[in-house]
A and B are shown apart, each in its own frame.
Chain A
Amino acid sequence: MPASQQHQHEGHDQSKQKGESGQSDQGDQGDQGDQKRILQQLQYLIRDFQPVAAAKAGESSVPTGWEQLDSILPHGGWRSGQLVEWLGEVKGGGVGLLGLWSAWQVAQRGGVLVVLDNTGKFFPPAAAALGIHLSRMLVVSPQGKADFDWTLDQVLRCRAVGAVWVNLPKIDNRAYRRLQLAVEQSGVFGVFIREQKCLQDPTWAHLRLCATALAGQGNWRFRVEVMRAVGGNAGASCELEFMEITNQQRSEKDGALLNPTNGSRIITNNFQ
């Protein structure tokens, strides 16, 4: 029996039990009870619907590179057709780097990695040092808000784009909703880098992650908290460590991307 039907039956049983217990739950109390039951049934239905909707894409999720992050994400990694918001300190806080890394993880499956750089300050050698193939990258530099919004909409609608990475300062609620629908239709993975202060703004992203750099603890460490997750639980958090690895190394066994937590593969940072 499908889970949704099972929940419906449970709901009926509960109402029957209540009905047998006496005639006391009438009037306002009866209405409140009905509302509760309806809400409960809706919750069950929504919970059942979400995995079905997510499974429509028929794609396996892409591991993030950190097991602890995979464990707190709804599908155990990134998925195409998602909008992911990375919130944090954009000026040197490493949130952009985390976002770019996640975009590249998905773009490796095919499709161009689009970087929207309206400030002209994006530094491609950083992406190259991260292991990103610059030959698969498209840097678009729109000028003005109208062009920026239009470009973002266009690249998120194009099926040939693998992932989009953009520093998104402010966005209209309706425009954001349109972007969400666009990625769900096209299967593009969108990564938005936003300031911490945008935490107060409403979001249409499927995932909202808040990253905070932890100072002075060995390698570059971050605390990542899930603020919103469609089909998952918000509130979970973990700590990540960006360690030196040889770029693009993969396991000989199953071809999985070696993440920074695979200790045996780690090369220590001997820059100093």
Chain B
Amino acid sequence: MKKIICIWIPGGIDSTSKDGMSKEAGKDTRSVERQVWKTQDGMFRLARWANRYSPLVGFPESVNWKRELAAQEKRTTGKHVDIQYAHQPDPRAAAWKTEAIWLDVTDVCHYFGTVTKLTQRISEDLMELDIAARVAAASTVGASWAACLYLANSKVNETVVLSMEQQDQAVVLAELGQLPVNSLRLPATALDALARLGIVTLEQLMALPQEAIAQRLGTVVTQRCQQIFGQAIEPLEMMYSQQRYISEQVLLGPIGGVQMIVDLFRYLLEPILERLKKRGRGVLQLNCKFAVSRYGQRIYCDATANVASETAAASGNHVEQFTIGLYRPTVECTHLVSLFQLAWEKVGRIDEMYHVSIEATQTAVMQQVQLGLFTEEESKQPVAGNGELSRDQIPPRVLARLIDRLTSRLGKQRVTRPQLNAESQPEFSFEMQAVVELDMQRWCNHVQRPVRKSLDASSGHAPPRTSQKTQYNTQRSGWALGQQLPFDSRPLWHWGSPLEIQCHTKSRTGAPVRLFHSGSWQQVIRSWGPERIETGWWRSRAVRRDYFRVEIDSGQRFWVFRQLPTSQWFLQGNFG
């Protein structure tokens, strides 16, 4: 009889981790591709970690990660309404595809004592890593998953071990019989059909004739029933651990300035890049760890007491760690070194360094590039007589590298692209989208092309016009986006929190005639408006405002509004 252990990380490997396995994952919710890469990578890293218990780690089925995560994202955002089920299945029912791994410990569990001890040890090790997981052992893949899903409890570190003896199948049936049919790893349609028929538990399902079930609900239901009780063999597809690209160096302590660190980084990085080049891969993420000391912390702790040293180690004071992320795989040492320098500038004072570790935690297949007759440097020389490359001839990687540098130093949320929303309230009329969420290759190609070919002197014809809406945004809709606004209808600078001002108004029209600005009353010589909005009732309270553009006697223009019904005046922007 086989002995199978199932490890389930509820919510995926992204959400919980301490050892850097998944810190970056789970943030780019819009980019399914990126999420796929990260989740898949996270699971592979978990599998590599689990290899310490068993060499046989895998999944029961091959997973289309992209499809599964896209479906998962749809479920999260509530966009899975194209299929209406009478009974909504448990959302965790499909989690086995992307959030769980299985270990075949049949031949190795005796090294750890018993299966129970091994399961307990895995659970404790995961808890030490601060990963909330559910661990269960059984004789089949299906039974271990069912136990994970409904019997194990991650909060109290309780593991479940079902009976694995052939003659104890009745006991297993009794243990699993009360579980819901959701534990059978069935598709949503089959679960919906079972719910319609009133079949809730496995015991109810097993009581029915198998032929009738296969005929009415499909063979998948009977197949899963046989698999969970060991009547049908379910082999695991093994995940072979990926190659680690890591380079380490132990140092004596004192360091000789930034240049020495950079040289050391280059020295450690080059062998990694050589190995990656041979495999046609490039670095996508680089994790750097440094055991350092500031102001003699480490020396002091080591010299006085071990307790103090352990405290410092536990608090992580002397381990500096940062991640360099890229948006295109690269094997160019110079580029990576420049990114490292940017990241290192933020580390602060370092007195001594004892250990350096650099690991390419994410790699990807390099884009195929046609080989030329000349070297890259020679190819960069302009051929045209005017001595300059035109903008659309500049390769997209130039812009991608700029984005890499900016995001490395400033952070992802500070390098953005604006996008309009179909909202009337100015505070919500746009959003800033992090550039990292874009398809970098496509966006770079888009911005490098001229808007109109007619701008080039070489082309002598005017291109066909496109509508305003498609120029701005082809993927969004809404009447507010389709409006043709006058160029000076919106201010260049605006305050998210409007400033309250004093204003005198005309009695009939309500337009402002004087406003208090820069410490004195200013005469309003012209005004445009009102532009009334009444919106936002679904957020908290309805917002009712009358907007005016006003020009004061010095020629400056401001954007003010009157709050209704209180008639308070606010300044929300100026026209640059």
Contacts and interface: CB of A to CB of B under 8 A. Distances in A.
B113 interface: no
Contacts of A126: 490-492, 575-576
Interface string A72-103: 00000000000000000111111111011000
Contacts of A56: 387
Interface stretch (B185-193, B282-290, B415-423, B562-570): B415-423
A142 B407 CA distance: 10
Interface string B483-512: 011111111111110000000000000000
A157 B52 CA distance: 49
Nearest to B397: A160
Interface residues of A, number: 80
B576 A134 contact: no
* Interface SS majority for chain A: loop
Contacts of A123: 426, 430, 490-494, 573
Interface residues of B, number: 83
B430 A138 contact: no
Contacts of A141: 410, 414, 416
Contact of B472 (A90, A134, A159, A245): A134
Contacts of A121: 493-495
B391 A111 contact: yes
Contacts of B493: 91, 96, 119, 121-123
B394 A212 contact: no
Given A92-B556, A110-B448, A134-B417, A158 B526 contact: no
Nearest to A112: B447
Nearest to A89: B556
A134 B387 contact: no
Contacts of B496: 120
B555 A128 contact: no
B305 interface: no
Interface stretch (B27-35, B215-223, B362-370, B452-460): B452-460
Contact of B575 (A58, A92, A154): A92
Nearest to A115: B418
Interface stretch (B93-101, B234-242, B398-406): B398-406
Contacts of A151: 406, 409-410
A137 B484 CA distance: 20
A132 to B, nearest CB: 9
Given A160-B399, A255-B461, A94 B418 contact: no
B462 interface: yes
Interface string B205-243: 000000000000000000000000000000000000000
Nearest to A58: B386
Contacts, number: 243
B554 interface: yes
B350 interface: no
Contacts of A62: 455
Contacts of B384: 58
Nearest to A250: B462
A36 interface: no
Interface of B: 384-392, 394, 396, 398-399, 402, 405-406, 409-410, 414-420, 426, 429-430, 432, 435, 443-444, 446-452, 454-457, 459-463, 468, 471-473, 484-496, 525-526, 528-529, 531, 549, 551-558, 573-576
Given A58-B385, A59-B388, A143-B410, 20 more contacts: A96-B575, A108-B451, A110-B392, A110-B448, A123-B493, A123-B494, A124-B432, A126-B490, A126-B576, A129-B489, A130-B487, A134-B417, A134-B419, A134-B420, A140-B410, A140-B415, A151-B410, A160-B448, A216-B555, A248-B451
